[in-house]
Amino acid sequence: MKVLVINAGSSSLKYQLMEPETQEVLAKGLCERIGIDGRLTHKVPSRDLKHEADVSMPTHAEAIQAVLDALTSSEHGVISSMKEIDAVGHRVVHGGEKFASSALINEEVMAAIEACIPLAPLHNPANITGIRACQNVIPGVPMVAVFDTAFHQTMPPKAFVYALPYEYYEQDHVRRYGFHGTSHLYVSGRAAAMLGRPIEELKIVTCHLGNGSSICAVDGGKSVDTSMGFTPLDGLPMGTRCGAIDVSIVEYLAKTHNLSVDEILNLCNKKSGVLGVSGVSSDFRDIEAAADQGNQRAQLALDLFCYKVCKRIGSAAAAMGGIDAVVFTAGVGENSAMLRERIVANLGFLGIRIDPEKNNVRGEERDISADGAAVRTLLIPTNEELVIATDTARIVSGK
């Protein structure tokens, strides 16, 4: 079965055409600057081929058409016609409390995704636009929505209810949802496979550390707590997001600097995190380089990031009453040996110890634990597209 995986953002669209059974990626790429001008980058891994072109993309519909043209092109295509696409899997950021698993897209599901727009005003509209564009360009092909929030629907109320007046949960659905669910699901499953043990008997802390970061306590294969909350702003400090802060700061800054709530939320989302603290960049590579050259604020940004990730690993272990493995994934988690080492430096009391030699690696599955460590520390590159393709294939084949 050939599944087209679509991850539609407001002005970009990532895609992969893959065969979930063999896990082979036939082609993948990116449409950027949708609504501005339009640029396509298309890659065919088996032929080591990369094709780039300016393509007019006034809307997502033209972007999807450009993807289909690339996939069926005589020069850099991988299929002879779009009839070979058996199904499309769409990443959808917010499924609210309605979706604890992926869903075959019909008008009822679309209405439920639309109902979640107030919960994810930046993300869900773009996801919906991507789905509608696909429905127009390839009508009749079955489509599945795979939600970032779904994996966390197993959290118990004590983990997801905020200590606000309860009616705001009941009426307004204000609660912890959690995100990066497909990534936490994938890496926890791979961790169990690497350890050669059934996931049902494992307590795993998964650390998705990228531009956006979250930590998940996966007990017996189920998410029981996670650091992101009502929105992806909660929890850890990130590239540009502040993570958890005292909400009174919002009022204080509003009064002191005559700022609106929107303006403060904008600075919490886009100007904070390691960018805000370092003043250098949101990219950890730039911050590491600046810290190496003696930049004190860059050093502080790294220090507080590692400190908060370390504390969250401890709190996830406490949530489960134990820990068998800790997993590092995503851009930072997969690539920065230095940050992994600093994050776990204080966690020896839990039995987490890494081997500096084994840790000296990037982007490949590896057990980086020190010999004899009670807790295994694993490096596992995430693969959200594979989860989306596999779920899509399972649902459209009625399994």
Q: Which residues bind ligand ADP (CB under 6 A)?
A: 210-212, 239, 283-285, 288, 330-332, 335-336
Nearest of 318, 364, 319 to residue 337 by alpha carbon: 364
- Looking at the Cβ atoms of 161 and 361, the one nearer to ligand ADP is 361
Q: How far is the CB of 171 from ligand ADP (least distance, A)?
A: 32
Q: How far is the CB of 375 from ligand ADP (least distance, A)?
A: 23
- Looking at the Cβ atoms of 61 and 226, the one nearer to ligand ADP is 226
CA torsion through residues 79, 80, 84, 88, sign? positive
- Looking at the Cβ atoms of 19 and 283, the one nearer to ligand ADP is 283
Q: How far is the CB of 83 from ligand ADP (least distance, A)?
A: 32
**Which residue bears the tokens 């966690």?**
347
- Looking at the Cβ atoms of 377 and 382, the one nearer to ligand ADP is 382
- Looking at the Cβ atoms of 253 and 289, the one nearer to ligand ADP is 289
Q: How far is the CB of 107 from ligand ADP (least distance, A)?
A: 31
Contact present, 65 and 47 (Cβ < 8 Å): no
Sequence-separated (6 or more) residues with CB below 8 Å from residue 129: 8, 59, 60
In Å, how far are 4, 13, 64, 65, 297 from 134, measured between CA atoms?
A: 10, 12, 7, 9, 46
148 a catalytic residue: yes
Of 48, 86, 148, 292, which is the active-site residue? Answer: 148
Terminal CA-CA length for the chain: 14
Q: How far is the CB of 282 from ligand ADP (least distance, A)?
A: 6
Q: How far is the CB of 209 from ligand ADP (least distance, A)?
A: 8
- Looking at the Cβ atoms of 65 and 211, the one nearer to ligand ADP is 211
363 in the Ramachandran plot: left (φ > 0), alpha (ψ -120 to 50) or beta? left
Tokens of 178: 């959690």
Catalytic residues, by residue number, are: 148
